[in-house]
Structures are given as C-alpha cells and as structure tokens.
Chains A and B, each alone.
Chain A
Amino acid sequence: MTTLQQPATAERRPARPPGRGNRRSWTGWGFIGPFVAVFALVFLAPIVYSIYLSLFRDQLIGGNTFVGADNYTQALQDEQFWASLGRVSLFLAVQVPIMLGIALLIALALDSGRLYGRDFFRIAIFLPYAVPAVVATLMWGFMYGTRFGLVGDINEAFGVTLPDPLSTDLVLASIGNIVTWEFVGYNMLIFYAALRVIPHSLYEAAEIDGAGQIRVITAIKLPAIRGALVIATIFSIIGSFQLFNEPSILRPLARNAITTDYTPNFYTYSLSFNGQQHNYSAAVAIIMGLITMVIAYVVQLRGMRKGA
C-alpha cells in the first residue's frame, strides 16, 4: 500500500507551481467565508438540527429512540394539526383579501393626489406597524374585554350587550381585526412605493386618450404594481400560516376559546413547551414549513405568469 502511494505523492510534488491556483481558491473562501459561516450557523444549522430532532422520539418512559419517519406519518394523520391548518387557511382566505384590499384602496387614494393632508394620512396609517405586535395585541385585548375593557364600558354606558369579541365564535375574527390593523399600513406602503415609480408620461398619455381615473387604475396602475401585489400576497400568506403572537397573547383572556392547538405554530409551541414533545413538534414544524413553501411558490408562479 505504502509503495503504491509513494509515486502519487511524488507526482504531486512537481506539480506545485500550479498550486498557486490553490491559494487563489482560499482567497475566494476568505471573501465568502463570513457569509457562509453566518448562513450555516443561523440558517442551515437550525434546519438540519430540526430534521435531526424530528427523527427521534423522547418518551417519559423509554427515553430517546430513533424512530425514522414515524413522527411525520403521525403528524400527517394528526387531526389537531389539520384542524389548526384549516383555521389559519380560513383566516388566510378571509383576512388577507380584506387587508390587502384596504391597503390597496388607501395606496390608490394617497397616490391620486386628491387627498388633503396626504403625508399625515400616510404616516398615521403606517403607524400601527411600528407598534410591536405584542403591545398591539395587549392593547386590543384590553379593548375586547367585556368586563373591564372598552366593550364592557360601552355595554355599561349604553345599556347594550355587544357580542363578546373573545368568545369561541368571534375570536378568530377579532384576531383578524388586530392583524389587519397592524399590517394595512405596511402593505399600503409597499403598494404606494410601487405606484410612485410609474412614469408620469403614462398618465399624460392616458389623459390625452381621454381615460378617466377608474380606467387609469385598471389599465395602468394595477398592472404596473402586479409585482408588488404578488409580493404582498406571499408575505401575507406566510404571515397567516405563522400566526402565533396574537393567539398566544390573547389566550390568558380567552383560555377556553383559544385552544393550545389554535394555529399550527401555537400547536408546535404547546407540543414542545407543555408536552415536552420536542421531536414531534419539530416534525410538525417542518411539515408546516414545507406546506407554506409550496403554497407561497405556487402563488408566486401564478402571479408571475399572469404578469408576463
């Protein structure tokens, strides 16, 4: 064996001069090294670690064992998981169109140039986005309160009985309201920025052709910001699937309405932190991640194809 290897080393030695190329490749690493290191540490490592975790099962009795894909098959048959996914899908189907619709309407209004105090409205509508989600939810939680909150005060002052926003039937809509309040401004800004870059010559041409405002919107503005619409939709889809802050902060106020498996993220959180089922939780999280990716990708493909 050794004798066989020797010629190989001998051969490589004379080939040293081209070794310069070797050194050059290290220089390249020097440049991308910092990126790769951070990328691996904060992006790849957690994913790899989650996948690794998801292949095991740690039981109170029996300890930690390798179970292969068992967690995944279990998750795919998990009614609680599918119910929570159904809940956020409903949320997505109802809340996202409303939110984006309002945002688009405001962006168009601001862009129309016919609004008095445009800069004030732009800032005022964007402001809720600057409020941390946790604070915003707490604030809304106080308002929703039927005993000592705003709803309670209204009931008291006017002698009416408003429906309880935190009841089982209404709590999803109440969460939707909070999320809409938070993100209308953000989406509005995306749309508004996209509207601002449309060349003015197009509007002039439209005017010459005798197009009205509605016509300008449908024929120029909307097609021009399609990219922004698609992006905002994708962000909103991801946001809906990741719904967590609002239900988890409202839960102490409505324990019976907001279950520990209310949204997929909240479910993984409960599995992990209440049930100490980190492994199963990792599997559910990965499945959820894949579903989100697929749906976001489909929307992107569709959105882009229409744009073409």
Chain B
Amino acid sequence: MRRTTSRLLRGIALVSTIALGATACGSGDDGDSKKPVSSGDVKAALEKGGTIKVWAWEPTLKTVAADFEKKYPKVKVELVGERSGDKHYTALSNAISAKKGVPDVAQVEYFALGQYSLTKGLTDLAPFGADKLADKYTPGPWNAVSDGDAVYGLPMDSGPMALFYNKKVFDKYKVEVPTTWDEYVEAARKLHKADPKVYIANDAGDAGFTTSMLWQAGSRPYKVDGTKVKVDFADAGAKKYTDTWQKLVDEKLLAPINGWTDDWYKGLGDGSIATLATGAWMPANFVTGVPNAAGDWRAAPMPAWTAGDKASAENGGSSLALPELGENEELAYAFVEYANSGAGVQSRVKEGAFPATTAELESDAFRNTEFEYFGGQKANEIFADSAANVADDWSYLPFQQYANSIFNDTVGKAYVSDTKLTDGLKNWQDASVKYGKEQGFTVE
C-alpha cells in the first residue's frame, strides 16, 4: 500500500515535471540572434516579399498600407487597429513576455517608449540608418524616440496641443472663446448656466490629459536620469493646474465622460461637450469619429496660464517601433520608414495626421491647408505655432504605462469623491514611487 502510494506520487511528480517542461518550452526558445542590417538587405527583402504584422490604431495607416502594398506587390501588410491605449499595451507586453505572436511593427506612444526600450523590448533602428534621419524631425518627437545613439522608433506624428471648440455652441450662447485658463473657467460657468446639458469639456480622469496640462502649466513632476527617478507633484506649475481644475471639478462643470467612448463621440457631435484641449493629431479623428458635426468645430491656441504666455505642451503622439521579437525586420523597417519618413507622410498629412517632420510642418502647402471640417480654417498654422512653443525639459517616467494604469485609482478619486486633486496627485506620486522602487529604480 505504502509502496503504491509512493510510486504513484513519483509518477505524478514525473508527469507534472514533464507537463511543466512543456509549458515552459512554449514560452522559451528565441534562437535568432541579431546581426547588423544594411540598406541592401532591406531592398532584397522587399523584392523577396513576405507578410508583416502591424499593430497600430492610427487611422491614416490604412491608406499607407495599401500604397505600400501597391509599391511592393510582394509584401503584404496585416494591419490590426482595433486596440488602442491600455489594451494595446497590455496585448503588446503580453505578447513580448510570452515571446509569441509579437507584431513586426507596433505603434508606441512617446510616453511608453521608455518602458519598452528599457526592457529591451524594441529593436534599435540605428543600424538600419534611422540615426541619419534625425534632422528630418522636430526636436520634441526625436528626443522622445532616441536615446543616445540608439533609435527606438520613427516618429509618426506629434501632438502639440490646441483647443478645439464647438463654434456653434459658443456662438449660440454668445460666449467668448477663452484665451486663458481663468477665462476658460468663466466660459465653463456661462455655458453650463445657459444650458445645463452643455459642459465646457469632458474629463473623468485621464492620465495623458492631466500630464499634458501639467506640462503646459510648467510643472515638471518627473525627473529621469538613467535608473534614477524623481516624482514630485508639488511644484508651482502643478499648483496652478490643480487650483484651476479643482474649480471645474467642484462646480461640476466637466462632463464625466471618458475619451474614445460612444458617449464621448456623441457629446462631441451634439454640442454637449464644448471644447477639447488635445493634440494636433485630433482632426483626423474628428473627421472619422464625429462626421455629423462637420463645420461646427474650430481650432484655437491653448488657453494660457498667464495672459500672453505662449507655452504649449504635447499630448500623445506616437512612433512606430519594431518589437525585438517581431520577424521580418527588414520589411518592417521598410514599412516604418515609408510611413513616417517617406511617401507615407504626405498621404497621412492629407488625411489629417499631424506630422513630426520639419519639411511638412514648414511647407506653405501644409500651413495653408484649409480644413473643410473646420469650416475652411487654416488650422495647421495654429498647430505649427503650438509645436514651436512646446515647453521643453519634460520627461515621462520609464514606467509611465504602469503609472497611467493606476491614475484612476488615485487621482481619479478626486473626480468622484471629496478627495482634492492635490491629494489625488500625491497618492499617485506615492504609488508611482512604490512601483519604481519595486522595479529596482532609485527613487526620490
């Protein structure tokens, strides 16, 4: 009896070890070692053809992929664009840690590049010749994608901020378009009083938006020096932001709607969300997402924190990068180069994307483009000026993606309870510091 038991146990142990081995094997084994690539290799690969998997939600890439396939008939581009934001990064991180199903090209926003490049999840594009493209791009986006000699992605777009406003709503209630944030609060009160269904903006707690607002207000909460990180939301800039924004929150002047939801598109369309302070990449999304409000919206410079101040900030903006575990590197690079530096840029600009390339930004054709959606307004002038006035020195955490994922646990409380924004930010700071320490950073 005892012998049978022990034999059974041994058997079970053996089988489970084998099973365990099998599970482990599924995730191991990425034998291919990297070797330097030349532009000749890229050309050869394009002639040979193949399929590349691209995970990107940027809408203008559809045309780019089609054009690319037309130009190189042997190459097939599989564009997966249903996931964006958090879901996209979760899927990408999972694929990378599972070492399976990793796309050849992935859209990575500037704030998340640090995390992926730090964990060696992205291929350095410098050997492909990407380092020679530095001059093509505006400094902000280029700083975001490069780290020393390494280049972890090519800038796809940039997001100098502007204030989009629904002119129809402002005209209807005879409210001036705000040029400072104090006026903005006033306008919010007036609009909401005139029609309780109208809110100056939607904000239910959005990490990307809040960090951009802090950026514009002159706050520099994140200091990163290699593996040394400092998080501090108690500077003067942050106070400017929280003082103003707390008023909007307290007086319930913000629609409690999250961005990119059905409610949001509806609100932008029916005039219940009157303004949207966001990146200059927005027009393309207006055209596709809110077609029924064509002609209602206009763009304006960001309201200033002190009258006359022109400081702007970036919101969003992303690059295309090559996850290290992706395949078909040569083809993938060719696609990225085509989309973000080659002919793809013009077709994307035509569809409303906001380029990160200086040539496009400075061209008269670009500046004089009349946006049909904005009633013929030459909105690019506003965006390009904003791009030139983006305040520098900003940096994101090397684990910003995680920090953003817990934003609503901490700062979000300020939108639904008595917690003040300042306290929310303090909690966010503490949670970020804790995570940073756990991840081996030296955190102050």
Contact = CB atoms under 8 A, between A and B. Distances in A.
B359 interface: no
Contact of B440 (A36, A46, A59, A252): A59
B5 interface: no
A61 B22 CA distance: 29
B63 interface: no
B90 A45 contact: no
Interface stretch (B54-62, B152-160, B401-409): B401-409
B20 A274 contact: no
Interface in A239-290: 252, 255-257, 259-261, 270, 273-278, 280
Given A59-B439, A147-B263, A256 B11 contact: no
A76 interface: no
A40 B204 contact: no
Contact of B398 (A45, A46, A60): A60
A257 B412 CA distance: 8
Contacts of A280: 438
A48 B257 CA distance: 44
A121 interface: no
Given A40-B12, A252-B261, A260-B405, A45 B204 contact: no
Contacts of B435: 275
B16 A45 contact: yes
Interface in A206-223: none
Given A60-B399, A60-B439, A255-B205, A273 B16 contact: no
B408 A168 contact: no
B19 A62 contact: no
A259 B408 contact: yes
Contacts of A46: 23
A4 to B, nearest CB: 25
B93 interface: yes
> Which DSSP category, helix, strand, loop or mixed, fits chain B's interface?
helix
Contacts of B408: 255-256, 259-260
A61 B416 contact: no
A45 B19 contact: yes
Contacts of B406: 260, 270, 274
Contacts of A52: 20
B393 to A, nearest CB: 23
A148 B266 contact: yes
A33 B402 CA distance: 44
A252 B439 contact: no
B220 interface: no
A62 B405 CA distance: 23
A44 interface: yes
A61 B439 contact: yes
Contact of A277 (B12, B16, B438): B438
Interface in B75-113: 86, 90, 93-94, 97
A294 interface: no
B19 A256 contact: no
B100 to A, nearest CB: 15
27 contacts: A36-B11, A36-B15, A39-B12, A40-B15, A41-B15, A45-B19, A48-B20, A49-B20, A59-B439, A60-B399, A60-B440, A61-B118, A147-B257, A148-B263, A148-B266, A168-B413, A168-B416, A255-B205, A255-B408, A256-B204, A256-B205, A260-B406, A270-B406, A273-B93, A274-B86, A274-B401, A276-B93
Interface of A: 25, 29, 36-37, 39-41, 44-46, 48-49, 52, 59-62, 147-148, 167-168, 252, 255-257, 259-261, 270, 273-278, 280
